[in-house]
Amino acid sequence: MQLKNSLAVIIIAISLWTCKEDNSAEIALEKVDAEIVEEEKILEFGFDINNYVVKRDTIKSGDSFGEILERNNIGYPEIFNIAEKAKDTFDIRKLQVGKPYTLLFSKESQTDSLPNPEAFIYQPNLEKFVVINFKDSIHAYTSRKPITYVEKTATGIIQNNISETLKEKGLSQRLAYKMADDIYAWTIDFRRLQKGDRFKVLYTDKYIDDTIYAGVHHVKAAYFEHNGDSLYAFEFETDSIKGIRDYFNEDAKNLRRAFLKAPVKFSRISSRYNLKRRIAVYGYKVRPHKGTDFAAPMGTPIMATANGTVTESTRRGGNGKFVKIRHNDTYSTQYLHMSRQAVKKGQFVKQGDVIGYVGMTGNTGGPHVCYRFWKNGRQVDPFKQKLPEAKPISDSLKVKFLEHIEPIKKRLDNIFFLEAEPKESENTITEDLTTDVQ
């Protein structure tokens, strides 16, 4: 009996010891898990968000920097002090309706009845953000989110039009605009594409913080089969100082012309150049119209139709706000009735650069841009001129260009068309070309 009791005590002791060991293991595991959680950081705007209570909102109509901080328990003397010390970095009066902002509160301050924020972060666009930190000492700075460029390829066979082809494949419509407006505008009429026309594109997509898709960055090269012609296009920088880049075919011939066909996209001609125009308002007297009017919605970007130097950016009489550009000794252009200009006198602009926005300043009955064209100091109809081609590659650069495109052309040629076209994700090259741009 005594032996049985001894065995029972031993068994109970072993059981208790085992339970103790198991419990210790669980506690140790919990500690490891806790340490792992503590080590994980969620970084945003340079802050570990885990350490803060985060309040996100957008600028509402009538909001001001002072009102936002006052609503969050900061008094006006302190608001004035913050604004004064931040003004060299950011003008707080420039907050735009609809733009997001973030307030960071310390988790410790949440025990207070009226917690105060420690930082205000404003995002004027997807890339840029402004931080005004007032935790200990007030300081402000601007920064940008990390940007990644991912190189991709895409192909397509036209059934109806290029927009539908891209949409069916899940590709960005920006590719259509790039090909129609930037690359093949002078060689292919995209309104008259034929069924069976096909294309290949080598391009880069832009991502912010590795997750936010910011659209097509640029097209590196393209190939288009249209009307039995094979049309290659390779991007190449011809002037590193002015940052001029053009598209050339495999023989180094420039694909663009010296002038764009129109200074605005997706517009219609509402009034043509006409020296014998008669207007009812003026008693049907002859009032020459020496420009071409392109009707477009208010605020539509107006582009320089060719490279050149801004000679005027001002407001005058019936012209309203306008910009005039001198392209060379022969040609100048002028863009009237802007809502506002985007360039200054003496500034060099490239073809396609935004120089202003469609408006109704001066004598005008509706939103449009009056496009005027000078040749040898005389206003002429641009649609009746035999306009020059764009500047060709210099002999000194031609060898460099041919060496540059050789591997790119091989890549294009090795992309095959399939009857059942794969979607973009199947053509993605995942290496990062550029990261952490600040």
Q: In whole angstroms, what is the distance from residue 354 CA to residue 356 CA?
A: 6
What are φ and ψ of residue 187, in 5° steps? -120, -20
Task: Tell me the two tokens of residue 114.
Answer: 């009226």
Summarize the confidence of residues 381-387 as an average pLDDT.
Answer: 84
pLDDT at 371: 95
Can you list the alpha helix ranges (DSSP code H) found in 278-382?
A: none
Give how far Cα 101 sits from Cα of 52, 120, 172, 190, Å. 15, 7, 28, 42
Of 288, 290, 332, 291, nearest in space to 312 by CA: 332
Query: Is residue 196's pLDDT more than 60?
Result: yes
Q: Is the pLDDT of residue 170 over 80?
A: yes
**Across 374-391, average pLDDT:** 85
- Residue 34 — very low, low, confident or very high, per pLDDT cuts 50/70/90? very low
Question: What band does 190 get if pLDDT is binned at 50, 70 and 90?
Answer: confident
Of the two residues 253 and 258, the one the predictor is more confident about is: 253
Predicted local confidence at residue 8, as pLDDT: 52
- Interacting residues of 50 by C-beta distance below 8 A, sequence separation 6+: 40, 41, 42
Higher pLDDT, 120 or 92: 120
Among residues 364, 323, 365, the alpha carbon closest in space to that of 340 is found at 323
Question: Given pLDDT bands bounded at 50, 70 and 90, which one contains residue 159?
Answer: confident
Per-residue pLDDT for 400 more than 90?
Answer: yes
Determine the pLDDT at residue 432.
37
Of all residues in the chain, the percent with pLDDT exceeding 90 is: 40
pLDDT over threshold 70, residue 231 = yes
What pLDDT score was predicted for residue 56?
A: 94
Give the start-end residues of each E strand in 145-197.
147-157
d(CA 146, CA 125): 13
Position 92 pLDDT exceeds 80:
yes
**Closest by Cα among 233, 226, 169, 167 to 195:** 226
* Gyration radius (Cα) of the chain, Å: 32
Q: What are 314-348's pLDDT values in tens digits?
A: 999 989 999 999 998 899 999 999 999 999 999 99
Q: Residue 233 burial (CB < 10 Å; 0-12/13-18/19+)?
A: buried
Q: Which of 17, 11, 14, 16 is nearest to 3 (CA)?
A: 11
The residues pairing with 140 across neighbouring beta strands, listed in sequence order, are 132
Residue 410, SS3 per DSSP: helix
Residue ranges and CATH numbers for the domains of the chain are: 44-144 (3.10.450.350), 147-256+392-432 (3.10.450.350), 268-384 (2.70.70.10)
In angstroms, the CA 294 to CA 287 distance is: 19
- Mean pLDDT over residues 364-374, rounded? 92
Of 342, 339, 340, 309, which Cα lies nearest the Cα of 324? 309
> Which stretch of 216-225, 256-265, 405-414 has the lowest confidence by average pLDDT?
256-265
Alpha-carbon torsion, ordered 318, 320, 325, 330, to 10 deg:
-10
Does the pTM of the predicted model rise above 0.95? no
Given pLDDT bands bounded at 50, 70 and 90, which one contains residue 304? very high
Task: Report residue 169's pLDDT band, with 50, 70 and 90 as the boundaries.
Answer: confident
